[in-house]
């Protein structure tokens, strides 16, 4: 009903990068029930702000100097702590985050649909529904063979995937794995909000893309954080929008 009062969710932003806080503030500005009550750029300030401002929800970076996000979460204690959503550039802390009872774990750059999914979790928990005890959906894993042993690679650790005949090559930050699978099969396994098919033979993890370069008339490549350059054969505009969080 027009004019109805929407209960506000008092929200604190914590990230040692001011630009990251500004980006979150912009994305959250479109949510009518989110009221940003403060910003912090280090762990001790975040704990103090939680004690004085009493936010309902905290967007918390993990990789901060001196005191990381897990130390902040531990420092909040058990006396009615706020709901916590980790927002981080690193994908190797997801299981630990959920063990620490974080509400959700969002990779940078956070796409708007993924951020809204995390916010819906927060809304449900803060309204007292049966969400707090339930962990977030498990991170998908892909089976690979290493030295004759089957092991599992979390989807979020994969920077990009390329097709190679009847196989695919999974590229992580440190190594590659060859798997007998189709690119379409892998694409169906990967989280759609975090991965994008950019050609007939390549899928990229949005969190691994650091830039898009023009290399010729109507030709572009995606530049990944470890230096790989992936030709973009489709969806350049969509990729740019998703990287901006649109």
Q: How do residues 10-48 score in pLDDT, each as one tens digit?
A: 999 999 998 888 989 999 998 999 999 999 999 999 999
CA neighbours within 13 Å on the CB side: how many for 163?
15
Give percent of the chain with pLDDT exceeding 90: 35
Structure tokens at 132: 């707090």
**Average pLDDT of the chain, as a whole number:** 84
Q: Is 90 exceeded by the pLDDT of residue 5?
A: no
Distances, alpha carbon 25 to alpha carbons 12, 38, 42, 115, 174, in Å: 10, 10, 17, 12, 33
Judged against a pLDDT cut of 80, whether residue 1 lies above it is answered with: no
Rounded mean pLDDT of 151-170? 90
> Would the pLDDT of 100 be above 80?
no
Domains delineated in the chain = 9-126 (3.40.50.2300), 151-244 (2.40.50.1020)
What's the CA gap between 120 and 31, in Å, rounded? 11
Residue 125 confidence (pLDDT):
83
Given a cut of 60, is residue 72 above it in pLDDT?
yes
CB 18 within 8 A of CB 44: no
State the pLDDT confidence band at 4, using cuts at 50, 70 and 90: low
Q: What is the mean pLDDT of residues 82-104?
A: 75
CA 214 to CA 166: how far, in whole Å? 31
Question: Would you call 10 exposed, middle or buried from its count of C-beta atoms within 10 A (0-12, 13-18, 19+)?
Answer: middle
User: Cα(43)–Cα(60) distance, rounded to whole angstroms?
Assistant: 9
What pLDDT does 132 receive?
A: 42
Residue 60 has pLDDT above 60, yes or no: yes
214-244 pLDDT, tens digit each: 988 889 999 998 899 999 988 888 888 888 7
Token duo for residue 54: 């009493």
Whole-number pLDDT of residue 133: 42
pLDDT single digits (tens) 120-153:
888 988 876 443 444 455 668 888 887 778 888 8
């Amino acid at each position: 009903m027009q004019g109805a009062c929407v209960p506000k969710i008092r929200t604190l932003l914590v990230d040692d990068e001011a630009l990251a806080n500004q980006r979150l503030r912009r994305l959250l500005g479109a949510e009518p029930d989110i009221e940003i009550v403060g910003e912090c750029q280090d762990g001790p300030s975040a704990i103090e702000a939680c004690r004085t401002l009493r936010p309902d929800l905290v967007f918390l970076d993990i990789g901060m100097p001196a005191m990381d996000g897990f130390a902040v979460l531990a420092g909040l204690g058990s006396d009615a702590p706020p709901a916590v959503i980790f927002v981080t550039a690193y994908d190797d802390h997801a299981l630990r985050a959920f063990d620490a009872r974080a509400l959700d774990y969002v990779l940078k750059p956070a796409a708007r649909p993924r951020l809204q999914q995390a916010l819906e979790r927060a809304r449900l928990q803060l309204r007292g529904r049966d969400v707090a005890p339930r962990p977030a959906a498990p991170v998908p894993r892909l089976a690979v063979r290493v030295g004759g042993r089957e092991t599992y690679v979390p989807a979020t650790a994969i920077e990009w995937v390329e097709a190679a005949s009847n196989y695919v090559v999974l590229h992580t930050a440190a190594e590659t794995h060859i798997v007998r699978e189709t690119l379409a099969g892998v694409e169906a396994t990967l989280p759609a909000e975090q991965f994008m098919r950019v050609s007939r033979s390549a899928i990229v993890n949005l969190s691994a893309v650091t830039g898009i370069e023009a290399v010729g008339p109507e030709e572009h490549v995606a530049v990944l954080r470890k230096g790989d350059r992936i030709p973009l054969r489709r969806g350049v505009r969509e990729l740019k929008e998703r990287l901006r969080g649109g």
